[in-house]
Amino acid sequence: MAMHGMRGLSVFISDIRNCQNKEQERQRIDKELGNVRNRFKNEKGLSPYEKKKYVWKMLYIYMLGYDVDFGHMEAVSLISAPKYPEKQVGYIVTSCLLNENHDFLRLAINTVRNDIIGRNETFQCLALTMVGNIGGREFAESLAPDVQKLLLSSSCRPLVRKKAALCLLRLFRKNPDVVNVDGWADRMAQLLDERDLGVLTSSMSLLVALVSNNHEAYWSCLPKCVKTMERLARNQDIPQEYTYYGIPSPWLQVKTMRALQYFPTIEDPYTRRTLFEVLQRILMGTDVVKNVNKNNASHAVLFEALALVMHLDAEKEMMSQCVALLGKFIAVREPNIRYLGLENMTRMLMVTDVQEIIKRHQAQIITSLKDPDISIRRRALDLLYGMCDVTNAKDIVEELLQYLSSADFTMREELSLKAAILAEKFAPDLSWYVDVILQLIDKAGDFISDDIWFRVVQFVTNNDDLQPYAAAKVKEYLEKPAVHETMVKVSAYILGEYSHLLARRPGCSPKEIFAILHEKLPTVSTTTIPILLSAYAKILMHTQPPDQELQSQIWAIFNKYESCIDAEIQQRAVEYFALCQKGAALMDILAEMPKFPERKSSLIKRAEYSEADTAEQSAIKLRAQQQPSNALVVTDQPPANGATSPVPVGPLSLVMVPSMITTEDHTSTDQALSQQNGSLTKVDPQHPSADLLGDLLGPLAIEGPPGATVQSEHNAVSGLEGGPDAVDGSAIVPVEEQRNTVQPIGNIAERFHALCLKDSGVLYEDPYIQIGIKAEWRAHHGRLVLFLGNKNTAPLVSVQALMLPPAHLKMELSLVPDTIPPRAQVQCPLEVVNLRPSRDVAVLDFSYKFGTNMVNVKLRLPAVLNKFLQPIPVPAEEFFPQWRSLSGPPLKLQEVVRGVRPMPLPEMANLLNSFRLMICPGLDPNPNNLVASTTFYSESTHAMLCLIRIETDPADRTQLRMTLASGDPTLTFELKEFIKEQLITIPTAPPQSPAPAPPPAAQATPQIPPNDPAALLAGLLS
Amino acid sequence: MGIRFILMVNKQGQTRLAQYYEWLTLEERRALEGEIVRKCLARNEQQCSFVEHRNYKIVYRRYASLFFLVGVDNDENELAILEFIHLLVETMDRHFGNVCELDIMFHLEKAHFMLEEMVMNGSIVETSKANILSPIQLMDKAS
């Protein structure tokens, strides 16, 4: 009935529905495609209605999984139809059929823009939705300002604004520059005051994207989120339409708590308390109810609250409440709650102090490992893996092993890898470790990578008391009827080396061992045969007195394989046969393998690496990390100490190293033989797999050369600092430099400001070079290192670095090379001596040439006043006499500062702390005042105590009175000005700094919006 | 980025609606849908509503003959998505009255319009049924 004449479409759909099989369906679809194609060919005869009908058919066909390679133009052209029904179809079908890079989209960009800025609300919505779904960079560049305007417009109705919010989110992802953080943070905070829950829901999603990218800039939104939570939790002003089974929009609650998890912490005590009250209410007040939907919705909120509590690392009491709840959840029968209980308990492991409580639930978790539902089993496995330590490793690993035999195929690899890692990491004794690995190979040989058995061999070789045990053990396994090839490999190796230790036991004579091994030879592949041959040679060597029969048997085998097509096998056969003729020399050459150098297993390294990785991330990101772990990657990287490593690796080594076989090795055999001492210590450090057995070698990233580490560290930093607004270096780069075709990456001014507060990071970056900096400060001395990293595969030439130090700094930059080789990083130390107090800043004039581009930038160096401060606590009995003795100007200066960026007192305290001014709490009886002390170091003043007092006005946070005192008038003045600058500017904005280049005038006065959240909050606090 | 795709599939495994919020080629879609349908449709009522597949988590719910499958990334609140499915079904129900598979099949465009009002770019835009349905009602009135 509602098809309104799109009868053709209905008919077509029911035709498809009536198709008996796939073939019929395809025929019907081919027919329809032909029909549509024909109709589109003479487009002139098509009415908009017909076009609409055909376009829907195309979408339907596409949805069924058939390629529709025409008609895109028609879909796009409907966007410009004047009437709503056609336009709507055009927009929807276009966003389903085309991706963001499709050429046709570009054709529509003007129409889309006209719809967005036009007055027709419904058109605006359609256009915003399409751009929100598939808009690419080009859309971001041309439409972002319009979309922003709509979002903030007070005359726009919520139905448009909510779409504008998510549209902007898309554009921001495509081009972070569309949101200029400086101004946007305040607007975002404003948006969160929105009453309409649709707009608020969308805005919250936008906020999540923004804070996940740069939480620093959005601090002002934090109290707003808490307020939203309060509003929802108290069910204040929530229209009925937005409550779901009696719960005020669970989705908005979840989203808001998600946003809060991106802030590292909540410092303001009032906000923190309010939030914890809300969270407490959620934790305590969520009951299990009969209605499934209500139950789910309330638990959605509860689980998010749990995550937030964990993230905030709340008070102990609240934490144990969380663990208790999770403990309850993992025991319930309802599968969804159990799944989420396990998932969240795994995240909880990251919180300190709760591991012990979680361990109490071990039995329960193991039950879930046997659940019929694979989703739940996976969560249980992850949790068990995470909670394993020395105390419970035996139990857990044995559970995993037991489960391995019945586990589905898809889980075995992960399961065996995890068991292997845990066994090695927490083995209470080595024989247990050997047992575990052999069981793993036995039960899941297909999933055991070479690294795992290499590692066992390494352990056995290095532990004498383990050798007979391992030899006996592998022999037992070999006697089983079906043996996995990996088991043959490890057994052959171990029996070759150590079976003579068992010789006196029944059934373990060389002959019998040989027989057991040789029985397997016909069943194994060519990669295993060489290991068997080595084992035979060793067994033969250990047979004392010589056994003629065994000897002729083995010699016959060598003879047989001398003509083997596989080079490795052939070579071993030939060599072993030749060696056997040498009598006594055999003893030396085939002597037992020496111990391996102690080195950390790559299994463990990987495990630790990923843990270290996760520890630094917000709780949310952990989920991503807990994806099924991927298998080990063994890189063929020579070890750092390869040249001195005593690991013998010639072709005679009993270790099968497939890639070793080269003609070069052939010659080295003779050399080794001629050495006659049999120690075979010749090591070719260049050989790619020289140490394959020696260790399971971590990936390059973990154990790279120091330079690489620094580089990657910098990359990480630049990732953080890069920020959304990339090109804003104008504050320092003089105007004429703008002609540089090379644009810096990230905001130079922001980078400088960040570096003023910390001692290492990226100072400058563009597509060719990255300049990192690392500094150490001691009293009035500073030692900086500039890291000049060439990012390209071509050299950077004509590199020049010129220091322009201000009068108060003595600076010495070591020689900067003229050329930086491709992909290289050059370190240039820079010595700084502070002569006297001053706020002036040193500048580095840096230039280089890449291709025909001459790049020249002038960069401020973070050798700023606060670097020469050392925080020092001053007790009351010292503070007051000092304070009094420095009476009046010029040693003591007072000033009323206006236009202060309003911030709560703790935030101000933090700010001062970050500049190395130590807050001395309790000295001033007035809680609205801050007292701080620090020591300043310079050559002229030596160590000089500075005392600071800031009196704030709770009624007006935009002004304060500041009093500074020190023994040096210049210092007092300079420090006062310095602090003032920090208080009245927003640190992320390019400041009116003492930079040599004049800053743009626009930034001179900070803009304080009338409803700044910090100001509101401050009002509440006082 | 939240929701990656929404699928409606009947118990024979036929796709009734597919909406993606990230670009996949037709081949990728076909393969993904096949894998997911095989995995999810084989599950029983006693099993949980979440399935981990590739780098997605599938949150699904069955209504009579129709499965609603929502692919999310690992950063989503699973239960919230589960109830979002229900909200979608209730919204369709309010519009169609006793909604069934055929309604979605023969009114594909309506289903798309509703979805478009509810989800944009993988994020939830609107959860009020009245607001979701008002554009469709306007259109129905106009025609």
Reported as a pLDDT band with limits 50, 70 and 90, residue A986 is: low
Total number of domains in chain A: 3
Q: Would you list the DSSP string of A327-348?
A: HHHTTSS-HHHHHHHHHHHHHH
Distance CA A712, CA A701 (A): 9
Contact B52 A65 (CB under 8 A): no
Helices (H), A427-547: 430-444, 450-462, 466-478, 485-498, 510-520, 529-542
Q: One-letter amino acid identity for A460? A: V
Give the integer Cα–Cα distance in Å for A400 and A382.
11
Distance from CA of B107 to the nearest CA of A (A): 7
A26 known ligand binder: no
Query: Which residues on chain A are in Cβ contact (under 8 Å) with B128?
Result: 197-198, 239, 241-242
Q: Determine the average pLDDT of the residues in A596-613.
A: 59
CA A225 to chain centre: 25
Sign of CA dihedral A518, A520, A522, A528: negative
Q: CA of A455: how far to CAs of A400, A570, A596, A692, A896, in Å?
A: 20, 27, 10, 10, 70
pLDDT number for residue A312: 87
Chain B CB contacts of A623 below 8 Å: 74-75
For residue B75, give both structure tokens.
């950063």
Higher pLDDT, A405 or A158: A158
Residue A430 and residue A546 in one domain: yes
> How high is the pLDDT of residue A471?
94
Going by the DSSP 8-state scheme, the letter that residue A538 receives in this structure is: H
From B11's Cα to the closest Cα of chain A, the distance in A is 14
Q: How many whole angstroms separate alpha carbon A171 and alpha carbon A150?
A: 14
Provide, as residue numbers in chain A, all residues whose Cβ is less than 8 Å from the Cβ of B106: 3, 10, 13-14
Q: Which of A78, A134, A251 to mutate to test the interface with B (most CBs of B within 10 A)?
A: A251
ipTM rounded to 2 decimals: 0.97
Q: If you count them, how many residues does chain A have?
A: 1022
Q: How confident is the model at residue B6 (pLDDT cuts 50, 70, 90)?
A: very high
Convert the pLDDT of each residue in A342-372 to its tens digit. Answer: 999 998 887 767 888 899 999 999 999 989 9
Same domain, A759 and A836: yes
Based on the fold, state whether residues A679 and A801 are members of the same structural domain. Answer: yes
Does one domain contain both A910 and A787?
no
3-state helix, strand, coil split of chain A in percent (to 5) is 55, 10, 35
Domain end, chosen from A589, A619, A651, is at A589
Provide the terminal-to-terminal Cα distance of chain B, rounded to the nearest Å.
37
Name the residue among A4, A170, A250 with its Cβ closest to that of B143.
A4
Last residue of a domain, one of A863, A889, A912: A863
Q: Determine the average pLDDT of the residues in A394-420.
A: 87
| Residue A1017 domain flag | yes
When pLDDT is cut at 50, 70 and 90, the band that residue A440 belongs to is very high
Q: Hey, what are A705's tokens?
A: 């050369």
For residue A506, which amino acid is it? P
Residues of B in contact with A122 (CB under 8 A): 135, 138
C-alpha to C-alpha distances, A639 to A633, A652, A658, nearest whole angstrom: 15, 21, 18
Residues 6+ apart with CB under 8 A from A818: A797, A798, A799, A800
Q: Do A10 and B106 touch (CB under 8 A)?
A: yes
Cβ-Cβ contacts under 8 Å for A596 (sequence gap 6 or more): A458, A461, A462, A647, A693, A694, A695
pLDDT at A994 over 60: no
Is position A653 within any domain? Answer: yes
On whether residue A598 sits in a domain, the answer given is no
What pLDDT does residue A601 have? 67
On whether the CB atoms of residues A529 and A569 are closer than 8 A, the answer is yes
Average pLDDT of the residues in A271-288: 92
How many angstroms separate the CA atoms of A968 and A964, rounded?
Answer: 11
Q: Residue A497, CB half-sphere, CA atoms under 13 Å: how many?
A: 27
**A628 and A551 together in one domain:** no
Cis preceding linkage at A1006, omega within 30: no
Phi-psi group of B22: left, alpha or beta (phi > 0 → left; psi -120 to 50 → alpha; rest → beta): beta
Q: What is the β-pairing status of strands B56-63 and B66-72?
A: antiparallel
Residue A538 domain-assigned (yes or no): yes
Q: Output the pLDDT for position A606.
A: 57
Nearest CB to A254; choose among B73, B80, B109: B80
3-state class (DSSP) for residue A974: helix
All domains in chain B, ordered by first residue: 3-142 (3.30.450.60)
User: In this structure, what is the dihedral angle of CA atoms A336, A341, A347, A349, given to the nearest 10 degrees?
Assistant: -160
Diameter over CA atoms, chain B: 46
Adjacent-strand bridge partners of A860? A843
Q: What is the mean pLDDT of chain A?
A: 80
Please report which confidence band the pLDDT of residue A922 belongs to, taking 50, 70 and 90 as the band edges. confident
Q: Is A696:A716 a contact under the CB 8 Å cutoff?
A: no
Geometric angle at alpha carbon A574, from A569 and A575, rounded to 5°: 100
pLDDT band (50, 70, 90) for residue A807: confident
How many other β-carbons are positioned within 10 Å of the β-carbon of residue A819?
14
> Are A858 and A872 part of one and the same domain?
no
* Structural domain contains residue A253: no
**Do A614 and A664 reside in the same domain of the chain?**
yes
Residue after which a domain boundary falls, among A863, A890, A912: A863
* Residue A826: Cβ within 10 Å count: 17
Which of A19-28, A621-630, A643-652, A717-726 reaches the highest mean pLDDT? A19-28
**Cβ neighbours of residue A400 closer than 8 Å, sequence gap 6 or more:** A369, A381, A384, A415, A418, A419, A422
Which residues neighbour A243 within 8 Å (Cβ) at sequence distance 6 or greater?
A235, A249
Closest CA to B82 of A117, A203, A612, A334: A334
Closest partner CB to A373 (pick from B48, B128, B129): B48
Q: With the C-alpha atoms ordered A325, A331, A337, A343, is the resulting torsion angle positive or negative?
A: positive
Domain membership flag for residue A635: yes
Longest dimension (CA), chain A: 107
Angle between helix A269-285 and helix A1013-1021 axes, rounded to 10 deg = 90
pLDDT tens digits along A206-262: 999 999 988 889 999 999 999 999 999 888 789 999 999 999 999 999 999 999 999
User: Hey, are the CB atoms on B26 and A65 less than 8 Å from each other?
Assistant: yes
Amino acid at position A590, single letter: L
CA-nearest residue to B73 within chain A is A624
CATH number at residue A633: 2.60.40.1230
Is there a single domain that holds both residue A929 and residue A985? yes
pLDDT bin (cut points 50, 70, 90) of residue A736 is: very low
Put simply, the answer to whether A627 touches B74 (Cβ < 8 Å) is: yes
Place of tokens 């339907």: A60
Distance from CA of A208 to the nearest CA of B (A): 10
Of the listed ranges A59-68, A660-669, A972-981, the one predicted with least confidence:
A660-669
pLDDT in the model for residue A640? 37
Q: Average pLDDT of A1-11?
A: 67
Of how many residues is chain B composed? Answer: 143
A800, A660: one domain: yes
Both structure tokens of A424 = 């090695």
One domain for residues A626 and A544: no
Say which of B78, B84, B109 has its CB closest to residue A251: B84
The answer to the question of residue A71 being in a domain is: no
pTM over 0.80: no
Q: What are phi and psi of A820, to 5 degrees?
A: -110, 120
Q: What is the pLDDT of residue A160?
A: 95
Q: What are the residue ranges of helices labelled H in A42-193? A: 48-63, 72-78, 84-97, 103-117, 121-134, 137-152, 158-174, 181-191
Concatenating the DSSP letter of every residue in A669-696 gives HHHHHHH-S-------TT-TTTTTTT--
According to the model, what pLDDT value does residue A327 have?
Answer: 93
Closest-CA residue of chain A to B4: A133
- pLDDT at site A280: 93
First-to-last alpha carbon distance for chain A, in angstroms, is 64
A1005 domain-assigned = no
Same structural domain, A441 and A558: yes
Distance CA(A208)–CA(A199), nearest Å, equals: 14
- Give the residue carrying structure tokens 């085998």: A557
Domain that holds residue A806: 610-710+743-863
Contact yes or no for A239 and B108 at CB 8 A: no
Q: Answer whether residue A730 shows pLDDT above 80.
A: no
What six digits make up the tokens of A250?
A: 């669970």
With H, G, I as helix, E, B as strand and everything else as coil, classify residue B70: strand
Look at the block and give the residue holding tokens 């995995």.
B39
Give the other-Cβ count within 10 Å of A120's Cβ: 13
One-letter amino acid for residue A724 of the chain: P
Residue B62, SS3 per DSSP: strand
Provide mean pLDDT across the span A714-725: 39
Q: What is the pLDDT of residue A1013?
A: 36
A717 has a pLDDT exceeding 70: no
Question: Is it the case that residue A205 has pLDDT exceeding 50?
Answer: yes
Q: What is the pLDDT of residues A478-529, one digit of tens each?
A: 999 889 999 999 999 999 999 989 988 888 899 999 999 999 999 999 999 9
pLDDT tens digit sequence for A941-978: 888 889 998 888 888 888 888 898 998 888 998 888 88
Residue A463 has pLDDT above 50, yes or no: yes
We report the CATH number of the domain holding residue A975 as 3.30.310.10
Min distance A166 CA to chain B CA atoms (Å): 7
Structure tokens at A736: 């004429």
Indicate whether A656 and A562 sit together in one domain.
Answer: no
CA distances from B32 to B20, B38, B55 (A): 12, 10, 11
